[in-house]
Amino acid sequence: MIRLGLCCIFRDEPIKFRRTTAAYLQRQTRDEGLRYLSEIAAANAAALKAALRYCRDNGIGAFRINSQILPLKTHPQAGYAVNDLPGHARIVADFKACGRFSRQFDIRTSFHPDQFIVLSSPQADVVRRSVADLVYQAEVAEWVNADVINIHAGGAYGDKQAALGRLAAVIDSLPPAIRTRLTLENDDRSYTPRDLLPLCERSGLPLVYDVHHHRCLPDGLSEEMVTAKALRTWDREPLFHLSSPADGWAGSKPNRHHDFIDPADLPVTWLKRDLTIDIEAKAKEVAVKKLLKFLNKQGAGHMTGQARGDILKRGASR
């Protein structure tokens, strides 16, 4: 029932995604740069396939794809169209093969555009560039069968309600490829579940409930309450986030992520339901496998007969 998700990269497994920098590209001719970007894109499509295969083979049910899978795609100078890349047909075909693999083995994929993607900004150009990046990520999402593009609400600018109003207006203007995948996540600085739930309910956007952020920035709503409300914003399998604090809850910086997940940080109300939990832990696949092992043991421990093993959608022991 529960599936655990791995975020973007591996700690031990030799699966790497490549990148480059604008400075490096700008020292070359346009053609040389595009050839280089094409190599990286092809390598990243291969790495994604390897990542999905790893997930399948290790009982990991979801994989978050780094937003730099096509590096510098929308950079003002170094940016490019897919069709500019030499061998683009093959590259797109490779990504689409990842999409078929994802469907075939039920490995859910998602995107999490980084902090520069801000739809609530009062600066029109910031919003324009953010939307351009979402267009790119939605294009790749179509290829690879990703059903979630998850963003934060952005800055508060001293007036959260005004910022949320701008956000809602931008959301309404987005093309379907983005709109149908877009989700909102509570953050640990400005926007709590209490802030976001009304917008989610009104705009029909699912809430990606990050319980770690909620613990860092509480809003008076209980975890049980937010869990229940967030579940209702989803028209498909919900996706939540989980992490543990690096130095414990009493440490100086509880918002920093630990290498692993302390099972005590997993809300009990999340168990035994259809749910994707993205594991934000620095030990990456090692941390996911460790939690899977714990949950399997746990599931077998307090359940009997037919229910045995059903706690997890995908078993860890293969």
Residue 48 is classified by DSSP as: H
Q: Smallest distance from the beta carbon of 262 to DNA, in angstroms?
A: 16
Give the residue, chosen from 3, 4, 5, 17, that forms a contact with DNA under the rule CB under 7 A. 17
Q: Does 124 bind DNA (CB under 7 A)?
A: no
CB closer to DNA out of 27 and 100: 27
Give the residue, chosen from 129, 181, 258, 289, that forms a contact with DNA under the rule CB under 7 A. 129
Q: Does 35 bind DNA (CB under 7 A)?
A: no
CB closer to DNA out of 16 and 100: 16
How many distinct helices (H) and strands (E) make up the chain? 10, 8
Helices (H), ranges, 173-264: 176-179, 193-203, 211-216, 223-232
Q: Does 30 bind DNA (CB under 7 A)?
A: no
The two three-digit tokens of residue 152, written as one number:
């934060």
Q: Are 227 and 267 in contact (CB under 8 A)?
A: yes
CB closer to DNA out of 253 and 318: 253
The two three-digit tokens of residue 265, written as one number:
């940080």
CB closer to DNA out of 21 and 173: 21
Q: Does 33 bind DNA (CB under 7 A)?
A: no
Phi, psi of 119 (to 5 degrees): -90, -10
CA gap 147, 98 in Å, rounded: 14
Give the residue, chosen from 52, 118, 131, 134, that forms a contact with DNA under the rule CB under 7 A. 118
Q: How many CB atoms lie within 10 A of CB 23?
A: 8
CA gap 163, 167 in Å, rounded: 6
- Per-residue burial over 206-235, b if 16 or more Cβ lie within 10 Å, else e, is bbbbbbbbbbbbeeebebeebbebbbebbe
Q: Does 12 bind DNA (CB under 7 A)?
A: no
Closest by CA to 271, choosing from 316, 318, 224, is 224
Q: How many CB atoms lie within 10 A of CB 91?
A: 23
Binders of DNA among 252-291, rule CB under 7 A?
A: 253, 255-257, 280-282
Give the residue, chosen from 1, 46, 50, 156, that forms a contact with DNA under the rule CB under 7 A. 156
Phi, psi of 67 (to 5 degrees): -70, -10
The stretch near DNA (CB under 7 A) out of 8-16, 172-180, 229-237, 292-300 is: 8-16
Q: Considering CB under 7 A, how many residues would be counted as binding DNA? A: 48
Q: Smallest distance from the beta carbon of 214 to DNA, in angstroms?
A: 13
Q: Does 128 bind DNA (CB under 7 A)?
A: no
Give the residue, chosen from 21, 173, 222, 317, that forms a contact with DNA under the rule CB under 7 A. 21
CB closer to DNA out of 8 and 170: 8
| DSSP sequence for 118-144 | -SS-S-HHHHHHHHHHHHHHHHHHHHH
Token pair 């963003």 in the structure block, residue: 151
63, burial (CB in 10 Å: exposed 0-12, middle 13-18, buried 19+): buried
CB closer to DNA out of 68 and 180: 68
Q: Smallest distance from the beta carbon of 33 to DNA, in angstroms?
A: 10
Binders of DNA among 40-99, rule CB under 7 A?
A: 67-68, 72-76, 78-79
CB closer to DNA out of 154 and 206: 154
Q: Does 135 bind DNA (CB under 7 A)?
A: no
Binders of DNA among 202-241, rule CB under 7 A?
A: none
The three-state secondary structure class of 310 is coil
Judged by the rule CB under 7 A, the positions of this chain that interact with DNA are: 7-9, 11, 16-24, 27, 67-68, 72-76, 78-79, 114-118, 121-123, 126, 129, 133, 154-158, 189-190, 253, 255-257, 280-282
